[in-house]
Amino acid sequence: MLLTLLGWLQQEFATIPQLTPWLFGLTLLISASGFYRTVYFISIGYAFSVAAMAVTTLLAFRQDLAWFNLLQNVCLAMYGLRLGTYLLRREAKSAFSKERENITQRTADLTFGRKIPMWIGVSLLYVMMFSPSLFSLTTAPRVPAPAATVFQLLGLAFMFGGLGLEALADAQKSSFKAQNPRQYCDVGLYRWIRCPNYFGEIMLWIGNWVLGFVFYTSTLQWIASFVGLVCIVLIMMGSTKRLEQAQDDRYGAQPAYQKYTRSVPVLFPFVPVYTLKHVRVFLE
């Protein structure tokens, strides 16, 4: 029985691309910025880890890239670089100073010893989120080519759609806040959904997972890719809850804001869910 289990584990780990440990090391290096400021584990470290993994993968497999592999990793690189530069610019703005202080206070009690498992955990998570890209490069599809193409096109549509949605939402909110710093944003995409940038991020990672769907051939590949997807969705739901609370504290006394929150879905467009306050999210 033990030999059978060991043989099965050996087969499972053989399906993990050889580049994976190198990408894990890369995410550890970049995410180490969180030791300077804890929030960087899940903000700047996250964004630039994704970009770095995509660029590294493009270079490592440059002679074996199919058209969808190229577009998939270009999208992930664009996403990581755009988000990372956006976060850095936001850090430099004086309007963000209060939020930065609040974040610093919330994480002030984290000791160096408690930061280490967080550092390792988020770095591993980023690799799992990225793993569909690796599996689509190193595994043969389980279905005929026409069916595989459908999943590839659908995944890419979600990925680039999510990237565009998030970028547009951030641009609209930044423009609005520059002129109305004390008002909640309810223009553009925010007329239809209160957190379009978070929804765009969920779309991108769903697309990444869907693109790789026909390439998952082992239990370990299914687990790694699915855990990565579920975790990022839960993280975005947790971010939505925190933003809800912050906006309630800031604008809750305004009747117009109360009407806005009762009529505009919080995270998923056209889905009549107007709050996540009472939803238990395990990663927030």
Measure the CA angle with vertex 78, ends 74 and 81; round to 5°.
135
Q: CB neighbours of 182 closer than 8 A, spacing ≥ 6? A: none
pLDDT digits (tens, 9 = 90+) for 223-250: 999 999 999 999 999 999 999 999 999 9
Question: Do 200 and 169 form a contact (C-beta atoms < 8 A)?
Answer: yes
Can you list the pairs that 106-109 forms with residues at least 24 positions away whose Cβ atoms lie under 8 Å? 107/38, 107/39
Taking all residues of the chain, what is their mean pLDDT, rounded to a whole number? 91
Q: Is 216 helix (H, G, I), strand (E, B) or coil?
A: coil
Comparison of pLDDT for 180 and 107, the residue scoring more: 180
- Give yes or no for a contact between 20 and 57, defined as CB atoms under 8 angstroms apart: no
Fill in the DSSP letter of residue 35. Answer: G
| pLDDT higher than 80, residue 265 | yes
Q: How many residues does the chain have?
A: 284
Task: Give mean pLDDT, residues 255-261.
Answer: 95
pLDDT in tens, 29-62: 999 999 998 989 999 999 999 999 999 999 999 9
Residue type, 77: A
C-alpha 176: how far from its chain's center? 24
Name the pLDDT band for 11 (thresholds 50, 70, 90). Answer: confident
> What's the confidence (pLDDT) of residue 279?
83
Q: Are 281 and 234 in contact (CB under 8 A)?
A: yes
Other CB atoms within 10 A of residue 95 CB? 10
CB 84 within 8 A of CB 51: yes
pLDDT tens column, 71-101: 999 999 999 999 999 999 888 776 666 666 6
Task: Give the model's pLDDT for residue 104.
Answer: 63
pLDDT given at position 47: 97
| Environment class of 133 (CB within 10 Å of its CB; exposed 0-12, middle 13-18, buried 19+) | buried
| Percentage of the chain modeled with pLDDT above 90 | 77
Residue type, 248: D
| Residue 284 pLDDT greater than 70, yes or no | no
Six-digit token string for 81? 């670089």
Residue 59 contacts by C-beta under 8 Å, 6 or more apart in sequence?
none
Which position has the higher pLDDT, 13 or 2? 13
DSSP 18: T
142: tokens are 């389980």
Contact residues for 249 (Cβ-Cβ < 8 A; gap 6+): none
Phi (first) and psi of residue 90, to 5 degrees: -65, -40
Residue ranges per structural domain of the chain? 16-138, 142-284
Closest to 235 (Cα-Cα) out of 84, 41, 49, 54: 41
